[in-house]
Structures are given as C-alpha cells and as structure tokens.
C-alpha cells in the first residue's frame, strides 16, 4: 500500500510544537471524541502528533487552529473553573456536546477543532484494516512521457534568468476553460503559451491518501471557504488540470431551458442546438460515456431499488473516464489516469500541437497598451525568484471564478459594469448517509456514478457522494461512540448527495494576502429546496432497505424510520442548520451583450478591452442546473473560434 506524508515524514512530537496545556487539551479531546470501539482503538498521542505535523505544514493554519483551541479552553474555565486537559471525561463530553448542539458559531468552531483530529486518527493502515478497507494505493510508475510533453513544459523555477517571450495567445490557467482554448488554438496553427500557478503532477504521486492529495492538488489544502449566513467550503484545484484533476468526472450538458434563459436575459446567441456541436467535440476528446455497473457498484443498486419502489427516474451518470476501474479516488487524483481531466487530455493535446507550458508561474500583471491587452507578466517568488513576460496578440484568462475577478480587478480591467466579482453561484450541496444491514462496499466504486433524475426541473440534482473513511470521519457531525460505530460499519454505508440550482448569490473580493474573500448568503427559497432534497433522498434510502439515515442537519442526528420524516418536514430550518459544501463557483465575470450589466461579451471578450478574453466558469451568467465542467468546455471551444477569427 502507499505511504502517507504523515507516516513517511517522521514528524516531530507535538510536544515540541504545542504548549503543555495545548497538548493536554488535545489529548483529552481526542480521547472523548474518538473513544475505543469494538474494532478501532481510542485516539491518543499518535493522532495528536499526526494532526499537528499536518497542520504545521502551513504555519498560518496551525496558528489559527491554536486560536480555536483557546476558545474551547476559555469555555472550560468559565464553566468548570479548570482547563480542558484537567477535566474528567464526563465533564469534557458534556462541554463538547453542548457546543455540538448549541448555537451556529460554537458548532462551527467545534467542527474546525475536531475534524482534523478525527481525520488524523483514522488515517492509518491499522484503522483501515480494522474496518476492512484498503488504505491508499501503491502509485504506479509514471509512464514515460512523450517528448513533446517534456520538451514543451518548463517550471518557472528552472529558468536561468528572467525572460520575455512572444506568441499569438497566452492562456492563464490549465483547467476546463484554459486547456481547451490552448488546444483548440494550437491545433489551428497559432503559437500558444500556457501559464499555470500549480505544478504538473503525474500518477506516480497519486497515493490515494486524501490528506496528502489535499496538500498536493488543492489550493489552500482544500480550505477555500465562503462565509455569510452560513459557512460553505468550496475546494478548488491548484495544479496542471485545475479543478478537473480533483472533480468526480461527471459530464452533463446544460438543459435547453438554461440556454433559453441566457438568450432572454443576457442576449446571448446560444441554444441547445447551437451548443450541441461544441459539446460533441468535448465529449469525443474526453471519451464521455455512462458509468458501468463495475464503476457505480452496489451504491447504484440500492439507489435504483429505492427509486423503483417510489417510481422515480434514475440512471447511471455520464463520465469522462473510459477504462475506470472504480477505485473511488476521483477527488484525490486518479491513480490510473483513467479520468480524462485536462492534465491527461487537453493539455497534452495542446503541447502536441506546439503549445508551451510554464508551471509554477503566477500571473500578476496583464499588459495593456492603447487600450488593448498585449501580454502578461508572471512571477515566481521565493529563494529563486523569476519573472516571465509574455507578449501576445490575445490574452485568455482562465483562473476560475474565484481568482479570475481578483486578477482582473488588480489590473483595473472589466470594471465598467460594476459586476466583476458579483453574481457568484455555487450549487450548494448536501450529503446524506444511509446505513444498511447488507455490505455495500461503496469504496469499490466511483464517488459519483449514479443519479436520481426525477427532480431536475425542480432544481434538484441527486448524485453519488461517497468518500474515503478519513473524509467521512472528519465530516460526520456526530462524536464519541456514535461516530466510532459509524466508522466501524463503513462498509454498510451509502453516501449520496444532491446540489441545488441556487437562486442565492455571493461575491468575491480580494482578501488578506491576496486570497479570495468569498461571501455568500443562502436565501429562504434555497434553504427550503435543500430541506426538500434531504426528505426525498431519505425516502429513497428507506424504500431501498436502509435501517437508518443520517441527514447531516442540526437537530436531526438520524432518522430511524420514515415516520421521523414528518417531524423533519414540520421543522423550521435556517441556512446554518445544514452541513453544506459547494464545488461549482460560477458567474463572477458573467457573459452578456450589454456592457452595462456584464463583464464579457458573447465571444467571451472583456467589454472595453480588445484582445482580453475570459473562458472559465466565471463567464457562466447563471446556474446551469448541472455540473458545469462540460458547459465551461463547450463555451471555451466556442470562444476559441472567435479568438481564431480575431487572430486572422
């Protein structure tokens, strides 16, 4: 099996990093939230040491964690007059349970304190063996890369000096938007330079350990978060491939009604028929096809069983992973390269056609002369700083919806309408867990392989959502014995989720250190839609034979039977009562004909700045109602034709 970073690095004891009071508190918390079960041993020193070593890779993160711990310490002294580490287990358990079931602020703080500790305890081969699940994978050797990949890829750190280059088009970002434009234009004979902030990681480093992969492949170790009337994680990728390297590979076309809305509201010359050729080109490159039984496994079986009993439409999901063997690690780097994320599809095709890729290149400046975009300046900071200036006839920004508006705003571009950074939609999502008497072994299938399609027109899209035990341990809202019982029965669990076509909107601004500051307010309409989705999915579980359901909603640790759903239906819930995540930030540089209400035009060119284009999810003007990867790629393919015409 693979070796995790925590295991291989031989981290120093937390005693060398924490104060005695902090270490004593963490040991006590670990003991209470993860007691010994029938199979899993109690959490202790090893878990604390591993967690501190992991968080310590980012000094700011560890500093913030210690501040959170101080909050619980203060509460213990106010209530009992003693420190956390000095409390007996019963009193500490009462204090923690009070926070777990208390006001939203305390619930959030407790989750931030306990989640990394729970994950660190579970992330060992011993615990995985106890519950009968493989711990990571042995990464296969990286296949010998074609010469056109190695010769046309350069790490900025490897440059001997600062350089200035010229090309037809410079593309910033290698995800769903940027990689497509690079490939399309390079194959049309244009000189293309790709710039990527992250690095080019091969499958030889994909060891299947979520914590390792979060550090390697995700921006801010996956800790990108939206704040508002609730807190919603929005993890995004940072590597060649962008977020496509860590998504689940689900490939939907946007419904026809979405294009009609964009035509009516934003004046866009789009329709399902006009977009079909672009979707087809993308689907051919990615090898899109419905998931097979071997890929969706028994998760799909029990969902189908429940849907059939209730008369709901259901089907396998379409995915971009021909040859997938169902290891279930899509969100943590595919160890077989079966998932055709852009790092193994569009980027190599762009390089084969003559493009050149620079990695570790953070673009800080967009050059404008005479009102026209004429290039960019990328830099690498650190012990060996380098500057790369690229002069180009067209500049394509594809940094994603959370970073593109920051780059444009920093360079005072795209500001005319006042909409830059606004109109953020995210597809808020909820995961619901079903517990069955039978073994499901969902870890032997892809996380998203099956769908309930009955409720698409209601703005509810149900898809699989299974995750490895280390992620489940961190995210389950229960603590103590109920948590341990769940983990020991992991092979009997199904985790399915859904996202909503949100009408709520958020905003992205520049935050401390230049990081995105994301605000988002979930409205009552969307909260009601989330509640309905949880009820529907719970009924599907029970109809398919589930013994109980864990809805991940405050005040409802579990539904023991369909009768419990009546109390849930009557409950008045707010945004803070849902345990939300989101994976599809969109709309922060939205497309439209009118420069007074949009940032880019029908061709994805920034209003008022010829030669400057945006081709990532930020141009999507409203929620596409489905996973957006295919729509981003289809729109980028369409924009490539416009850029090609402009280049002549």
Strands (E), 331-459: 356-359, 362-369, 372-380, 386-397, 429-435, 450-452
Burial 132-165 (b: 16+ CB within 10 A, else e): ebbbbbebeeeeeeeebeeebbbbbeebeeeeee
Eight-class DSSP state of 491:
G
- Cα separation, 269 vs 639, in Å, equals 12
Residue 503, Cβ density class (10 Å: 0-12 exposed, 13-18 middle, ≥19 buried): middle
Rg for the chain, CA atoms, rounded: 24
- Cα separation, 621 vs 105, in Å, equals 33
CA separation (Å) from 378 to 46, 49, 392, 404? 42, 38, 13, 15
Strands (E), 82-198: 153-155, 163-172, 192-196
Biggest CA pair distance of the chain: 76
Would you give the distance in Å from CA 78 to the centre of its chain? 38
- Cα separation, 619 vs 598, in Å, equals 9
- Find tokens 């571009």 and name the residue: 413
Residue 509: which of 402, 623, 363, 617 has the closest Cα?
402
Strand 548-550's sheet: what is its strand order? 314-316, 450-452, 460-464, 493-500, 429-435, 548-550
- Of 190, 314, 554, 584, which one is the catalytic site residue? 584
Do 34 and 118 meet the contact criterion of CB atoms below 8 Å apart? Answer: yes
- Cα separation, 313 vs 302, in Å, equals 14
Partners of residue 5 on adjacent β-strands = none
- The pair of structure tokens assigned to 10 is 């031989």
- Find tokens 């939300």 and name the residue: 580
Catalytic (active site) residue 584: yes
How many Cα neighbours within 13 Å face the side chain of 319? 29
Eight-class DSSP state of 232:
E
Eight-class DSSP state of 452:
E
Residue 316: which of 286, 344, 288 has the closest Cα?
288
- Find tokens 């870890």 and name the residue: 443
| Long-range interactions of 60-66: CB distance < 8 A, separation 24+ | 61/221, 61/223, 62/17, 65/112, 65/113, 65/116, 66/18, 66/22
- Which residues carry out catalysis? 584
């Amino acid at each position: 099996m693979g070796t995790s970073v925590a295991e291989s690095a031989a981290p120093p004891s937390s005693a060398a990093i924490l104060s005695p009071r902090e270490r004593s508190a963490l040991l006590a918390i670990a003991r209470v939230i993860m007691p010994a079960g029938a199979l899993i041993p109690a959490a202790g020193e090893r878990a604390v040491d591993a967690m501190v070593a992991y968080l310590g890779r980012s000094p700011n993160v560890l500093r913030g964690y210690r501040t959170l711990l101080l909050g619980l310490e203060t509460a213990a002294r106010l209530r009992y007059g003693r420190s956390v580490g000095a409390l007996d287990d019963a009193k500490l358990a009462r204090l923690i349970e009070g926070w777990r079931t208390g006001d939203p602020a305390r619930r959030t703080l407790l989750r931030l304190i306990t989640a990394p500790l729970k994950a660190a305890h579970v992330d060992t081969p011993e615990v995985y063996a106890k519950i009968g699940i493989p711990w990571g994978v042995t990464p296969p050797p990286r296949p010998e890369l074609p010469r056109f990949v190695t010769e046309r890829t350069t790490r900025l750190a490897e440059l001997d000096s600062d350089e200035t280059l010229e090309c037809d088009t410079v593309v910033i970002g290698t995800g769903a938007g940027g990689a497509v434009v690079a490939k399309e234009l390079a194959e049309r004979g244009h000189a293309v330079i790709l710039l990527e902030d992250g690095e080019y990681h091969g499958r030889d480093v994909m060891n299947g350990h979520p914590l390792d992969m979060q550090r390697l492949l995700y921006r801010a170790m996956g800790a990108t978060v939206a704040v508002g009337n609730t807190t919603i994680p929005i993890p995004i990728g940072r590597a060649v491939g962008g977020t496509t390297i860590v998504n689940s590979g689900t490939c939907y076309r946007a419904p026809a009604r979405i294009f009609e809305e964009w035509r009516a509201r934003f004046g866009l010359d789009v329709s399902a028929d006009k977009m079909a050729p672009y979707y087809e080109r993308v689907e051919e490159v990615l090898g899109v096809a419905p998931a097979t039984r071997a890929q969706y496994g028994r998760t799909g079986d029990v969902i189908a069983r429940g849907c059939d009993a209730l008369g709901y439409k259901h089907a396998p999901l379409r995915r971009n992973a021909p040859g997938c063997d169902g290891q279930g690690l899509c969100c943590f780097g595919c160890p077989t390269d079966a998932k055709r994320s852009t790092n193994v599809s569009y980027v190599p095709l762009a390089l084969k056609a003559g493009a050149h890729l620079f990695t570790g290149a953070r673009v800080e400046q967009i050059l404008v002369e005479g009102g026209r975009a004429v290039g960019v300046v990328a830099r690498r900071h650190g012990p060996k700083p380098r500057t790369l200036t690229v002069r180009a006839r067209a500049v394509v920004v594809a940094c994603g919806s959370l970073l593109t508006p920051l780059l444009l705003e920093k360079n005072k571009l795209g500001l005319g309408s006042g909409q830059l950074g606004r109109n953020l939609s995210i597809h808020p999502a909820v995961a619901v867990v079903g517990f069955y008497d039978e073994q499901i072994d969902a870890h032997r299938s892809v996380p998203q392989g099956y769908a309930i399609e009955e409720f698409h027109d209601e703005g509810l899209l149900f898809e699989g959502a299974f995750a490895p035990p280390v992620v489940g341990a961190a995210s389950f809202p229960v603590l103590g014995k109920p948590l341990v019982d769940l983990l020991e029965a992991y092979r009997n669990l199904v985790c399915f989720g859904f996202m909503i076509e949100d009408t709520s909107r958020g905003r992205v601004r520049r935050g401390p250190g230049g990081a995105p500051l994301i605000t988002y307010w979930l409205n009552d309409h969307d909260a009601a839609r989330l509640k309905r989705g949880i009820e529907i999915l719970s009924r599907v579980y029970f109809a398919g034979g589930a013994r109980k359901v864990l809805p991940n909603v405050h005040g409802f640790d579990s539904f023991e039977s369909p009768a419990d759903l009546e109390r849930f239906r009557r409950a008045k819930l707010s945004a803070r009562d849902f345990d939300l995540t989101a994976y599809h930030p969109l709309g922060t540089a939205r497309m439209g004909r009118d420069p007074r209400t949009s940032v880019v035009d029908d061709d994805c060119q920034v209003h008022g700045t010829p030669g400057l284009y945006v081709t990532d999810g930020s141009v999507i003007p409203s929620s596409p109602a489905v996973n957006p990867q295919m729509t981003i790629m289809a729109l980028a393919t369409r924009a490539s034709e416009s850029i090609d015409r402009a280049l002549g």
